[in-house]
Each structure stands twice: as structure tokens, then as C-alpha cells.
Amino acid sequence: MDPEVFRRRIAPFRNRVVIDIGTGDGLFVYRSALRETDRFFIGVEPDVRSLEKTSVKTYRDTKESANALFVRATVDDLPQEFTAIASEARIHFPWGRLLKAVGSGEAGVLNGLRRVCEPEAKLLAVLSVDPERDYAELKRLSMPPMTAAHFDELKELYRAAGFEMRWETKPASSIPSTIETSWAGRLKHSKSRRLILLSAVAI
Ligand SMILES: C[S@@+](CC[C@H](N)C(=O)[O-])C[C@H]1O[C@@H](n2cnc3c(N)ncnc32)[C@H](O)[C@@H]1O
């Protein structure tokens, strides 16, 4: 999208822009945009095939509010037009590269996330880990052990990037109702899976 057109589209939603990174099939953006017409929702996803159905529905059903958009990008190369526009950034159930970056606190990615946030913006990353089932994938990603000590250390890396972060863990069955995504629906029935919620504020 032309940067000027993009700026004009989001201008009426100043301080009310939510960016969902790794949006998958875009269900969170679709449902949120329909419910909260005074906020603008952007779904970021590298694999746009998964977005086909929801993006068509979103453009059709939000025509009047014009408050949703999907963008093909990765967390490593968030568009320059996104600089300081987000009042909220969300990452729900990351996997692969996205999990590695936010779960191990990669400076380049955290700085990129901070760049798209306005001061005092909220960042929420919801990780889901099943130590047995995910063992091979976590090993492949060279992830550090998902322990309390690790997440405590992660706070320092988030702070260095300009986020005050706290974390908590919960069973997957208690996924908050505000996280309406396709993967939330799939994972909430798991008995062995735990959620790790990283909640941060841009400082
Ligand atoms: C388990 S799915 C979760 C999808 C959605 N957030 C949900 O909750 O239904 C993980 C998503 O992360 C995306 N992803 C993986 N690596 C990424 C990256 N480097 N940047 C952005 N998204 C990425 C994948 O394409 C996939 O859609």
C-alpha cells in the first residue's frame, strides 16, 4: 500500500491502532474489528495463504468502519510506515522464528517491536508450551529452557529494548476470552500445555 494512503487510513484512529503479528488466519483481526469499530486492527503474516478466506470476509464486513488491514511481513521486517503507530501489539501462540525471537529476547526483533509502539503502548505475547510434545521443535530452534529463571532473565532483555515486562504462567484451559484466535480454540483443551503470558509496556 502507498505510504500516504496508509497514513490517511489510520489517521482517524490515532492512539487506537492494534497490530497482531503472526496473525495466522486473521480471525483475531476480523472479530476485533467488527466488535471495536473505534480501533484499527492490522494483521501481519508472512504466510498469506492462511489469510485468504478471512481477509475477503474482513474487507467485505468492515467496509463501513474501514478499520482493518492485513499486511504481508515478518516480525524481522515490520514496515517503516508502522513506526510509532501501535497503542497495542499482540503476538498469539508464536511458532518457529517468531517464537524464537520473542521467547529468547532477540534484540533486533524487540527493538523492531518497540519501534512500532507508541510510548506506553501495550505488548502482549502469549506463548504456549508443552515440554514433551514441543521438545523436538524447541531443540531445533535452540530455545533456552522455558523456566521461571529464563523468563525472569528475559525481563532485562525486554527492558534494554524499551519495554517493562512481567510474565505469568497459566494452564492452557484458562486462555483469556480476549484472545479469540483459531489457535486459542485448538489449544485450550490441552491438559499438558501451559501458557506463558509476557505482558509489557513501552517505556
Ligand atoms: C501457531 S500460529 C498462530 C496464529 C494466530 N496468531 C492464532 O493464534 O491463531 C503461528 C503464526 O506465526 C507466524 N509466524 C512464524 N514466523 C513468523 C515471523 N518471523 N514473523 C511473523 N509471523 C510469523 C506463522 O506464519 C503462523 O501464522
The CATH code of the domain that includes 165 is 3.40.50.150
Question: Which residues line ligand 1 at a C-beta cut-off of 6 Å?
Answer: 21-24, 45-47, 50, 74-76, 92-98, 181-184
Structural domain count of the chain: 1
Residue 191 has pLDDT above 90, yes or no: no
Alpha carbons 55 and 39: distance in angstroms, whole number? 17
Q: What pTM does this model have?
A: 0.97
Residue 159 confidence (pLDDT): 98
Residue 21 confidence (pLDDT): 98
Residue 44 has pLDDT above 80, yes or no: yes
How would you class 190 by CB atoms within 10 Å of its CB: exposed for 0-12, middle for 13-18, buried for 19 or more? middle
pLDDT band at 88 (very low <50, low <70, confident <90, very high): very high
**HEC-encoded secondary structure of 137-200:** HHHHCCCCCCCHHHHHHHHHHHHHCCEEEEEEEEEHHHCCCCCCCHHHHHHCCCCCCEEEEEEE
Alpha carbons 16 and 11: distance in angstroms, whole number? 10
Say if CB 163 and CB 202 are below 8 A apart.
yes
Residue 167 has pLDDT above 90, yes or no: yes
Domain range spanning residue 123?
Answer: 3-202
Q: Look at residues 53, 96, 51 and name the one whose alpha carbon lies nearest to residue 75.
A: 96
Residue 127 confidence (pLDDT): 97
Question: For 102-159, how does the pLDDT look when each residue is reduced to its tens digit (9 = 90+)?
Answer: 999 999 999 999 999 999 999 999 999 898 899 999 999 999 999 999 999 999 999 9
Q: How far is the CA of 95 from the centre of ligand 1 (A)?
A: 6
Say if CB 154 and CB 167 are below 8 A apart.
yes
Alpha carbons 66 and 56: distance in angstroms, whole number? 13
pLDDT band at 177 (very low <50, low <70, confident <90, very high): confident
Alpha carbons 54 and 51: distance in angstroms, whole number? 6
Q: How far is the CA of 42 from the centre of ligand 1 (A)?
A: 14
